[in-house]
Amino acid sequence: MKKIILIMTLVFILPLFGDKLDLADPLLVENFGANIVKEKLDTYDSDALGLWYLKRNYRSKWTKVREDEFELNDAKVWAFNQLKKKLSKVKPVNKNGDYHMYINVKFGKYDFKSNSFPVEALTANSYMTYAGKGEFVDSYLSSKLVFENAEESVNFIPMKKEDAKKFIKLRKGKYGDINRNIVAHYIYKITNFSESKEFTSDGSPMRIKFTGRLKSVEFMDKKRKNILHKVYFESSEKNEISDVNKTNENNTTK
């Protein structure tokens, strides 16, 4: 099964708490981590955590007090309290919001039996990787998003033979090459998130495992103006086929 990795497929990053929530924003991933630390704050070694926060965010103060154990002890307590204040202001995780994911995918050669184009998109074994800002969540692409209900059977774009022929012609290059790049826009809910690697009192950042449940996917052109096909994963409209708009077909660009 093909695995879709963020590093290869990310389209763009959205600002934190914007109109569309997207884990491609490291600040949003970091917010999840901050909420985890906030909930577990009493379980950490406050002395070690205070020292980490002092060295990380108040370097000049750390330099001044590091040789005096009494001043250092006071500074660690102070830094820990600063961390507590910061965490108290952290925005709660949006548990009810719709999360969006835009990935670059490709459609394959036309299937004359099913009158559709297959699409290389999410399958049951696919996952995405994301990064935080490095304070609470690892800044490498090591946090993972998996899906409860991704399925390969929805990865196709239905199109009549005559329309498909025109569609391909519009995407044909000067030397006969076919531009098969499109965008898949997924909407999903986050059903669970937890540490796959725990944040530690000495400041070692966590990794998060997110679990999502897909609501819908839109296969669209690269400029995201025309929807070629939309599928609902769950509802009375499940696997609903959106007819390809004639105008969309004629205006789809390479």
pLDDT reported for residue 234: 78
Is residue 127 in a domain? Answer: yes
64 located within any domain: no
Write phi, then psi, for 174 (nearest 5 degrees): -60, -35
Tell me, what's the pLDDT at 235? Answer: 61
User: Could you tell me if 100 and 17 are in contact, meaning their C-beta atoms sit under 8 angstroms apart?
Assistant: no
**Within-domain flag for 195:** yes
- Strands 143-147 and 207-220 come out as parallel
Residue 218 lies in a domain: yes
Residues in the chain: 254
* Angle (deg, nearest 10), helices 69-88 and 26-40: 110
Give domain status of residue 42, yes or no.
Answer: no
Strand partners for 193: 210
Positive or negative torsion for Cα 57, 61, 66, 70? negative
Q: Quote the pLDDT of residue 21.
A: 96
193 domain residue, yes or no: yes
Range of the domain at 144: 6-27+96-251
Q: How many domains does the chain have?
A: 1
Contacts of 64 (CB under 8 A, 6+ apart): 71
Instruction: Establish if 67 belongs to a structural domain.
Output: no
Q: In a structure prediction context, what are the per-residue pLDDT tens digits for the chain, which is 254 residues long?
A: 444 443 334 443 344 445 689 999 999 999 999 999 999 999 999 999 999 999 999 999 999 999 999 999 999 999 999 999 999 999 999 989 999 999 999 999 999 999 999 999 999 999 999 999 999 999 999 999 999 999 999 999 999 999 999 999 999 988 889 999 999 999 999 999 999 999 999 999 999 999 999 999 999 998 888 999 999 997 644 444 444 443 344 444 44
pTM value is: 0.85
pLDDT score at 174? 86
**DSSP codes joined into one string, 1-62:** -----HHHHB---PPTTSSSB-TTSHHHHHHHHHHHHHHHGGGS-HHHHHHHHHHHH-HHHH
